[in-house]
Amino acid sequence: MRLVKTVRLRLRSMFRSTRVEHELAEELRDHLERQIELHMAAGLSRAAARATAYREFGNVGLVQEQCRDTRGVAWLEDLVRDVVYALRGMRRSPGHAAVTALSLALGIGANTATFSLVNTLLLRHLPVADPQELVELGSETSSGPGNFSYPLYERVRDQNSTFSHVAAVSSPVIRADDDGSEHPSLGRYVSGNFFEALGVKASLGRLLTPDDDRLDSAGGVTVAVISDGLWQRVFGGESSVIGKTFALGGTASPAGVPFTIVGVLPRQFQGLIVGRSDDFYVPFASEPRLNARSLRNSPAAGWLKVVGRLKPGIARNTAKADVDVIYGRFVDDAAASSSEAATRQRRARRMTVESARAGLSGPRRQFARPVLLLMGAVALVLVVACANVVSLLLTRGLARRAEIAVRLAVGASRTRLVRQLLAESAVLGLIGGGVGLAVAVWGTPWIAALMANGDPSVAYDVAPDSTVLIFTLLVSLGAALLAGLIPAVRVSRANVPSLREDAGARTARAGLSVWTRGLIAFQMALSLLLLAGALLLVTTLRNFRTGDFGFDREGVLSMGLQPARAGYTGERRLTYYRAVLERARNAAGVRSAALSLGMPVISGGVDTSFAVEGEPADPDASVGVNDVTDGYFDVTGTRFLAGRDFGPQDGPQSSPVAIVNDALARRYFGTRNPIGQRVRAGLRGVVEIVGVVATAKYQSLKEDDAPVIYVHALQSANSAGATINLNLVAKTAGDPLSVGLALRRAIGEVAPVRVTVPETLSSQIDRTVIEERLIARVLGVFALLAVGLAAAGLYGVLAYSTTRRTGEIGIRLALGATRSAVLWPVLAEAAKLAALGIAIGLPAALAVTRLLSNLLYGVTPTDARVLGAVVLCLLGVALIAASVPAWRASRVNPLIALRYE
């Protein structure tokens, strides 16, 4: 209460100061009037009474001042005065203010943009009830994180004692719209308790309930809730949407199953996975209606993400122990009906319970490290920007020494001066922060787009929220005050004698101060660090494009064939595939064509157990497998080392054939000739090896050589082609995409089967190195920014110092110095500073770029060529920045210079 009243009084004093002043004056006048009356009553004349009263009272102005001081707004008034003074100062030298504010704006903007992503990915809470109680249940294997199977989810849901709710959402998405349109709607299966667990309420209609998620649900399981986005986009935001239906297709019913919309989600709820907004949700119970081979009862299929709400007071560790026990029992129970290998794999799995307050993992796992790394890098950019501010304020402070010395001489206190100088940099910081925010609003979507990488289903909501605004404000003020403190303290040390010095300063203090030199070298060092990191990643990207991976991606494209959906099975499907292949090989612009289950690197790869016939089988032996037709290796440009490609002779009557890669041949046959050997490749059965090809990268560009077996995809009704959707792959001459679109039309004439939009192998491979690409591009921009800022800083101080030395230079030229004798020292100074920066920066770079080593490919953090290029680049930039002031110094006209003196 008291605080409120005090604040009210103070605010009143501030904003209605004329009224307050008026009241004070009136109060004192009243007092004096009464005193005068008192004296007149005692017999004095009015004039004498008046004089006495005033004499007794003392200095009216001083009393007023003292009353004002008690109101405690003096510091505020001072602040306002400082800010006004600062703005006036900036108007006097707008160039300086603009450069400083721009430096800060770029630094702050880059920081805000990066922080927006950190905020979106890691900090922002889900728009659900009590998000801090939510945890994600997961399982970790040696090869990475895994999902839950449905039976395991049911166990945890029903047997736990630590969660108030355990809900699940499918990891794979369901596509609603299978007509190949640009943005098909994407949805997921959810458990019936999903929305109840999250505490999300419908904005229209109702959400799903546990009743909807029972296989024998009275209301039917084919119900759906849709997102606000889908509601607006497709249904125009009409409330009549409730009760409408939309169709979902699946292997169980190619014609599509109608789902009834029962409710709409609130606008702010966009799903649990940051960056993926789901358009609709249907109950898990509807999955068997869509999938012929339902995953619901399989304990082996991991396709669920599980989210739990902790009971009050339960710690994550307690919950994890609970889940561990349930999982142990689950593995024991499943052991009876599983292979030994499967049980062994399950036992090796570890359960995890992680906070889900900011959403389920997913992109977070992929991007958290890159984004934090960029946050570290961008902090360095801000430091470089601040160094600019420091040196600009220092040089400006030198120019103002006279003014400051005078003010000190007439009694201004040093703290008061420092405060005023800091107010100036705070104003600069706020201007910089404001502009920086604009830079960030423009820059953040660019980084978010790099993360989404052209995938239309990915959208990061990076619009700045209050957290980002507060961050920007704090960084702006913090940076400005930090940058302002050194110059403010140094400048305020100016003393009265320095006033006399000033006339001579033009010659005596001509060079750069130690501080300024140090700052420039420091900036150079930080720029070198960022530049080295960026160049290492750019080299990595180049290596990803030009390295030898055992296949050639140029001109290769692929498109998915989906005969299953059209109801083609068995022999009919093989006939369709052969017809497609025939048509493709005859199409214009196609050099070679083939069918395949997977493509190098982009398909993720399929593993199969493996054994050589007649040798003892190793239960753990596992090799990569791909189902391909003849011509596949022509398309990928992979060389044959021995044997032959598949051919017409490989028909249903002859023995099933396969081709192996060099890595497999060496591992399982050593020096023996693998041709003619028979091997067992898991579900693909026993095949005879007819050829050996060079080893091509199978799962990722960075992997070590992996053994792979290529099985004929169309040989017989037992081949993969009879049951699985294959891709058409082609090597084209000319523009792959235009050839691809023509090819897609041509294939469409073979049969009414859906064919996906063609994509080039090259662009799909780029997508697999998305983190590297993200870091390389963003770090590249940051490095250029840092170098630019450092160059601007160098230019600024050199330009300033040569301008101050105009008189001296004029004298030297008048005494016969050559122009190059004036020019060279300036360039030499710049080179010296750059060299000093490099001397500091190189060891730092060697220490820091090690952080990047697991992102690099084909280049080490200590690569001499990269570091050499960075050093040359910095020297070059320093000389360019110095050349303008140097040239201008050498052009000084002695006559004018001396007159100016």
Partner 1 sequence: MSKPTDLVQGTLDLLILKIIALEPMHGWAIGQRISQMSNDVLQVGQGSLYPALHKLEQQGWIEAEWRGTENNRRAKYYTLTREGRRALKQEAAQWERLSVAISLIVDHP
Let me know: does 348 contact 138? Beta carbons within 8 Å: no
User: At 630, which amino acid appears?
Assistant: D
Q: Is 589 exposed, middle or buried (0-12, 13-18, 19+ CB in 10 A)?
A: middle
Would you put residue 552 in left (φ > 0), alpha (ψ -120 to 50) or beta?
Answer: beta
Minimum distance between the CB of residue 362 and partner 1, rounded to whole angstroms? Answer: 55
Residue 58 vs 144, nearer CB to partner 1: 58
Instruction: Count other Cβ atoms within 10 Å, centred on residue 450.
Output: 17
Distance CA 357, CA 309 (A): 10
- Residue 58 or 670 with smaller CB distance to partner 1: 58
- CA–CA dist 511, 516 (Å, integer): 10
Side chain identity, residue 60? V
The least distance separating partner 1 from the CB of residue 82, rounded to whole angstroms, comes to: 23
Kind and range of the H or E run holding 24: helix 17-41
The DSSP output letter for 263 is E
Q: Which run of H or E residues covers position 262? A: strand 253-264
Residue 491, both tokens? 């400048």
Place of tokens 């709710």: 165
Please report, as a single letter, which amino acid is at residue 4: V
In whole angstroms, the minimum distance from the beta carbon of 3 to partner 1 comes to 9
Q: What tokens were used for 869?
A: 């290029």
CB of 527 to partner 1, least distance (A): 53
**Can you tell me which residue has the tokens 């599983």?**
338
Cα torsion 498, 501, 502, 506: sign: negative
Select 38 or 733, whichever has its Cβ closest to partner 1: 38
Nearer to partner 1, 6 or 723 (CB): 6
Distances (CA, A) of 269 to 85, 187, 234, 337: 48, 14, 18, 41
Nearer to partner 1, 73 or 720 (CB): 73
Contacting residues toward partner 1, per CB under 8 A = 2, 5-6, 9-10, 23-24, 26-28, 30-31, 33-35, 56-59, 62-63, 66-67, 69-72
Structure-derived torsion over alpha carbons of residues 828, 518, 100, 382, reported in degrees to the nearest 10: 120
What is the spatial distance between Cα 299 and Cα 152, in angstroms, rounded to a whole number? 7
189-198 b/e (C-beta count within 10 Å ≥ 16 → b): bbbbbbbbbb
Concatenated DSSP letters for 356-421? -TT-BSSHHHHHHHHHHHHHHHHHHHHHHHHHHHHHHHHHHHHHTHHHHHHHHHTT--HHHHHHHH
Query: Least distance to partner 1 from the beta carbon of 62, Å?
Result: 7
Q: In the complex, what is the shortest distance from the CB of residue 1 to partner 1, in angstroms, rounded to a whole number? A: 9
In the complex with partner 1, the residue whose CB is nearer, 4 or 864, is 4
Give the pair of three-digit tokens for residue 594. 């083939």
Q: DSSP character for 704?
A: P
Please identify, using beta-carbon distances, which residue of 6 and 355 lies nearer to partner 1: 6
Parallel, antiparallel or unpaired: strands 611-612 and 678-680: antiparallel
**In the complex, what is the shortest distance from the CB of residue 412 to partner 1, in angstroms, rounded to a whole number?**
23
Q: Which two tokens stand for residue 395?
A: 């040089």
CA angle 283, 289, 293 (to 5 degrees): 110
Q: How many CB atoms lie within 10 A of CB 484?
A: 24
Q: Taking a C-beta distance cutoff of 8 angstroms, is the pair 190, 264 a contact?
A: no
Q: Give the residue with the Cβ less far from partner 1, 54 or 669.
A: 54
56 versus 615: smaller Cβ distance to partner 1:
56
- C-alpha torsion sign, points 741, 742, 745, 747: negative
> Around Cβ 377, how many Cβ atoms within 10 Å?
24
Least spacing, CB of residue 360 vs partner 1, in Å: 52
Residue with tokens 């409710």, as numbered in its chain: 263
| Minimum CB–partner distance for residue 15 and partner 1 (Å) | 16
Nearer to partner 1 by Cβ, of 58 and 752: the residue is 58
- Rank residues 34 and 125 by Cβ distance to partner 1 and give the closer one: 34
CB of 57 or CB of 446, closer to partner 1: 57
Closer CB to partner 1, 36 or 840, in the complex: 36
Residue with tokens 């004029």: 810
Nearer of residues 69 and 582 to partner 1, judged by Cβ: 69
- Of the pair 7, 733, the CB lying nearest partner 1 is at 7
Number of H helices, E strands in the chain: 28, 25
Question: Shortest approach of partner 1 to residue 810 CB, angstroms?
Answer: 57
Q: What is the nearest approach in angstroms of partner 1 to the Cβ of residue 60?
A: 8
- Least gap, CB of 21 to partner 1 (angstroms): 12
Contact by Cβ (8 Å): 307, 136: yes
